[in-house]
Each structure stands twice: as structure tokens, then as C-alpha cells.
Chain A
Amino acid sequence: MSSFFSYLINGISLGSIYAIIALGYTMVYGIAKMLNFAHGDVIMVGSYMAFLAMGSLGLPPVLAVLLAVVVCTILGITIEKIAYKPLRKAPSLAVLITAIGVSYFLQNVALLAFSANTKMFTSVIKLPPIVLGDGSITISGETQVTIVACVIIMIVLTTFIKKTKAGQAMLAVSEDKGAAELMGVNVNGTISLTFAIGSALAAIAGVLLCSAYPTLNPYTGSMPGIKAFVAAVFGGIGSIPGAFVGGILLGVIENMSKAYISSQLSDAIVFTVLIIVLLVKPTGILGKKISEKV
């Protein structure tokens, strides 16, 4: 029973990371109607930044995280400006291929800059673990921080979108870009802001990911990125609570299958779940039906 509980907690923790990444996918999808394949690699860039800041520059963890967030925010905005903005009117296939190109570009630049060697990431979290029961359950500092961070991000983001003008502009652009523009919403600015928030979250997710699983190489972001996308689809792409629910569920499913079925097959199980969800409810758990204008 106690082992079940620790698998569950670890699953929720992993799921929290997926949820934070999935937010970036879901927000960008909602606003730009595109699948930003490069999102996972922004995570990797964020992790390297934090790694370098702590290692080479000797900065304290808080500053390192801040630096990672700043670099990723700028990176996200730049990617949107250079690669995606010229393609606003292009077919979705072209945008998708470009996004894959960007993803590949980031991976290979990292490969040249940092080499393929896996680096050992030092955790940024120094909290003591919580020991429960008679010591059979320990919740590590990383797990605590990750779950708390995820909940805070969810609350802040939801409030931001509901209460601020910029958040309302995001909603307007995601509903109807043309109409929003006519109503005086700065569409380009809003899209940039979305990429900025998504990428900043990716940086945080990257640091949390590498703190919990301390290996870092140019491909670090790719698999969690794909899984977070699965989580976003799972919860209903375009929906912020959906990203949260989808992320947590996915993390728990992955950890449970690792524990009770097969560690080698856990990825296969996660992806099979995605296919089943699409089969049963194509819009995801919390997604809404989008009808096409004729």
C-alpha cells in the first residue's frame, strides 16, 4: 500500500511537469492554431541555461532559474517572429513542418554547442524530504516543489487570463483573430505574449525536470515534450484546465505502468492511451467541439 502511495505521488509530480509543459502547447494551439513542435526543445535550452549558470557562472539556483526563464522567453518570441509569423496564412502542414525544423535546429545547435555527452544536473531544490508513516513513504523536496509550483502556475495563469486585459485579449484572439483585430486587439503582440509565457513555463519545467531526473543532453526535452503534447490532447487541446488534468493523469499512468506492468513498455502504454482517447473522445477530456465555418 505504501509503495502504491509513493508511485502515485511520484506520478503526480511527473504529471505536474507534463502539465506545465502542456500549458505551453495548449496556449499556443489555442491562439495560433498551430502545434509548436519546438516547445519540447525550449525545455532543453532552459535546462542548459540553468546548468551553465550554476556550473560555469556559479550563480545561486534562484538566479539560475531566472536566467533560464529570461533566455527561454526571448527564444520563444524570436522563434515565433522568425519562423512562424511569416506563415500565418500558410496551410497548417507548412507550419507543422517548420515547427519540426525549429525543433531539429535547436537540438542540433545544442549538440554542437554542448556535445552529445550527458551532463549531470545538480538539483536546484534544497528542501528536506517529508517522511510519512513509519518512514516507508518519503516525499522528496523536488516532488514537493514540483507539485506546488504546478498548482501555483495554474492558479496564476487562470487568474491572469480571467482578470487582466492581456488575458482577455488572448481569449479574443483564440476565438476569432480577425474580429479581435477589428476590435483593436494587438494580435501580433498577443501572439508574442503567448509564446513568451509558454516558453517561460518551459524553462521552469526544464529546471524541475532536470532536478528530478538529473541527466541533461540535447534530446532531454524531446520525449517529455511529446508526452506533454499527448497530455494536452488528452485533456483537450486549447483548454488550460485540460492541460492540468491531462498532464497529471498522464504522469500517473506512466508511473503506474512502470511500476506494475513493464518499465520498457511504459511509453508504449502512454501512447496507446492517447490513441484510445482519440478514438472515444476526439476532443479530449475537457475539450470543446470546434465547428468549421462553411
Chain B
Amino acid sequence: MKKQINLTKATKSTLITVGMVVVAYVILQILVGAGALSSLMKGLLVPLCIYAIMAVSLNLTVGILGELSLGHAGFMCVGAFTSAFFSLCFKETMAAGPRFLLAIIIGGAAAALSGLLIGIPVLRLKGDYLAIVTLAFGEIIKNIINVLYVGRDEAGFHFSMKDAFSMNMASDGQVLINGAQGITGTPNDSNFTIGAILLVLTLIIVLNLIHSRPGRAIMAIRDNRIAAESVGINITQFKLLAFSISAGLAGIGGVLYAHNLSILQAQPKNFGYNMSIMILVYVVLGGIGNIRGSVIASVILVLLPELMRQLNDYRMLIYSVVLIGMMIFNWSPKAKEFREKYSFKRLIAKKTEKEEA
């Protein structure tokens, strides 16, 4: 009897979250159809999906696994470049549908694999190492891509880490990845519908993972590593699982990003530390461990600055204050006291007490 309730409770919460996204999608599509959206707003639809996917996937690492990743943009970057490279190679030879599907799989898998490679040395360590190593990883990826040249001619692929000329291609050769100039001419396969589908898919993966056997193991490790070990949970295995899924989903965000632009470059502003921090802000504001909150927070924080452009100079400053404020509000003993004293429930309870008296 009871277990039935338990199952539906988790499922219900998942359905509400997914339903929210679907309803928002339908409303926005109607608005687009009616021509009620400005071109600025229309341009924001795909980024909305990207940031929501990024926030949800980061929340899997931060909120569910309880580790901090500061290189989430790095995994996004891996997904973006591998998938854009693939799509560019098969631009002429494959139909857009299957090509994009494959691009998504490739981008996600490449990012998940890099998450696994980073995770193996780092996740067995206790302490804040993941934060610094993921930060380092983000910088490494950006650096490497900026000196990477790949081209193709009749003889096949050519690589160089110096410049396009050193690839020694035949005169008809095509430069695919041009160092700091990045990848030009990626097919624009992303659109709002695909973005919304991928967001829903991300939500289903993350939420179902949380409410299943591996998800419980992951959260048990987060809550008490020693106790989790004492009941036979393989710490490293489940940390790696959570982290590579999180990285893979960030990679899918990257795929969406790459196929929404015609020129893809690895710059500090799109794949750097700042981007990782911005996504962290979405996660913190939406509530650490609260997946639905991540979606809502990223939508609000993507739209707000666009609607209030005059605040743009202060945006990052406000974000930083939000980060500090949220943490102190949640964890400071004094703030806890204050919250208990003035909590809504207490106030109501007090009121009824008085009335009874």
C-alpha cells in the first residue's frame, strides 16, 4: 500500500516538472505563431533551453553528488566542438535529422568520457579537489582548442598545433577547425523544439536517476560517506556515475549551443570560468539539489538581464552578492535563528495560539 504512494510521489513530482516545461513550450510557441514575441525574445528561446540543461546537469553534481564543479563550461565546450566537428564533416553527406541526432550522441558521449577521465583521479580524493581540477580542465580544453587546427583534403584529415598552413593540405583542402577562429559553418540544426525536447530528456534522466537505486547511493554518499561505505556502497563507482552523467548532459547543452551559431569559438566568455560560475549561480538560486528550481532560476536569470538592460553593468556584482547572501542565509547560525523566529509556520502558529488564549 505504502510503497505505491512512495512511487507515485516521486513520479508525480517528475511529471509536474516536465509538465511545466511542456506548458511553457506550448505557450511560447503560440506566442511565436501569433507574432507576439520580439526578435530579441525569439533569439533567447534556444539559449533558455541550453542554460536550463546546463543548470540541471550541474545541479546533479552540486546538489545530488555534493561536489563542486567549476569547469562545467569545459564539458559544454567538449560537447560543442566534437559535435560541431562531426556535423561539419557530414554537412553534405547526411540528412539533417539523423546527422543532428548523431551529433547529440557524439557530443554527449565525448563530454561524458572527459568527465570520466577527470573523475577517475579526482573523485577518489576527499576534499575540495574536484572544484579546482574541473576549473583547470575548463582552461586546458579552451587552450587546446585555440591552438588546434584540423583540415581535410582528398588524402584525409590533417592536424596541426601550430597554424593552418603547417597542415600541408592539398590546395582544395578545407580547414575544419581553425585554431582560435574555431569552427565556421556548423549547420544550424538547433531550434526551440529540439531544445525543449532535450531539456525534457535531461530532466527525465536526472530526476529518474535520483529516484532510483543508483541515485539513492549517490545521495547516501553525499549525506555520509563513511556510513555509505559501511553498508557496502562503492563510493568511487557512484561518484563517477553521477559526475559523468552530469558532464554528458552539459555536453548536450554544448551541442545545442554549437548548432545555434554559425561561428563557434572557444572564448573566455562562452566556455570560460565566468560561464561556469554563471551556471552555478542559477543552481544556487534555484536551490542546491532542487532540480525544478534550477530550471525556473535559469529561465528567470536569462530573461531578467535582457529585460532590464540598464542593470547589465551591475549584473555580475548582483550575482556575487546573491551567492554570498544565499549561503549565509541558509547556513549561518544567526540566520537560522532568525528564520525560525519569523518563519511563516511559526507566525501562523503564534496567531492561533493567541486566538485560543
Contact = CB atoms under 8 A, between A and B. Distances in A.
Contact of B146 (A97, A264, A275): A264
Interface string A203-234: 00000000000000000001000100110010
Interface in B120-172: 121-122, 124-129, 131-133, 135-137, 139-140, 143-144, 146-147, 161
A108 interface: yes
B1 interface: no
Contact of B317 (A102, A103, A108): A108
Nearest to B126: A292
B137 A83 contact: no
Given A272-B140, A294-B226, A278 B121 contact: yes
Given A35-B132, A233-B132, A100 B280 contact: yes
Contacts of B284: 97
A52 to B, nearest CB: 20
Interface in A83-134: 83, 86-87, 89-98, 100-105, 107-109, 111-112
A87 B332 contact: yes
A105 B132 contact: no
Interface residues of A, number: 44
Contact of B328 (A98, A275, A292): A98
A192 to B, nearest CB: 18
B330 interface: yes
A2 B30 CA distance: 71
A94 B131 CA distance: 13
A155 interface: no
Interface in A252-282: 262, 264-265, 267-268, 271-272, 274-275, 278-279, 282
A112 B317 CA distance: 9
B335 interface: yes
B333 A104 contact: no
A282 B125 contact: yes
A83 B121 CA distance: 31
Contacts of B187: none
Nearest to A35: B128
B320 interface: yes
A102 B320 contact: yes
B25 interface: no
A189 B180 CA distance: 49
Interface string B285-297: 0001000000000
Contacts of B139: 226, 267-268, 271
Contacts of B86: none
A135 B201 CA distance: 66
Nearest to B140: A268
Contact of B136 (A94, A98, A230): A230
B140 A87 contact: no
Nearest to A85: B332
Contact of B320 (A101, A271, A274): A101
Contacts of A267: 139-140, 143
Given A101-B327, A109-B317, A86 B335 contact: yes
A89 B331 contact: yes
Interface size class of B (residues with CB under 8 A): 35 or more
A108 B131 CA distance: 22
Nearest to A294: B226
Interface in B254-288: 273, 277, 280, 284, 288
B321 A105 contact: yes
A267 B268 CA distance: 14
Contact of A226 (B124, B135, B147, B324): B135
Most chain B beta-carbon neighbours within 10 Å: one of A102, A278, A292: A278
A35 B320 contact: no
Contacts of B146: 264
B68 interface: yes
A109 B314 CA distance: 9
Contact of A96 (B131, B320, B332): B131
A92 B147 contact: no
B66 A93 contact: yes
B147 A265 contact: yes
B238 to A, nearest CB: 18
B113 interface: no
Most chain B beta-carbon neighbours within 10 Å: one of A100, A222, A267, A282: A100
B334 interface: yes
Contact of B143 (A92, A103, A268): A268
A111 B139 CA distance: 22
Most chain A beta-carbon neighbours within 10 Å: one of B136, B143, B273, B284: B136
A51 B322 CA distance: 30
Contacts of A91: 66, 331
B147 A104 contact: no
A97 B226 contact: no
Contacts of B327: 87, 90, 94-95, 97-98, 101
Among all A-B residue pairs, the 4 with the closest Cβ atoms: A101-B323, A86-B332, A90-B331, A104-B320
Interface of B: 62, 66-68, 70, 118, 121-122, 124-129, 131-133, 135-137, 139-140, 143-144, 146-147, 161, 226, 273, 277, 280, 284, 288, 313-314, 316-317, 319-324, 327-328, 330-335
19 contacts: A35-B128, A93-B68, A97-B68, A100-B70, A100-B280, A104-B319, A105-B321, A105-B324, A107-B316, A108-B320, A111-B317, A233-B129, A264-B143, A265-B143, A267-B143, A268-B144, A274-B133, A278-B125, A282-B125
Interface of A: 35, 83, 86-87, 89-98, 100-105, 107-109, 111-112, 222, 226, 229-230, 233, 262, 264-265, 267-268, 271-272, 274-275, 278-279, 282, 292, 294
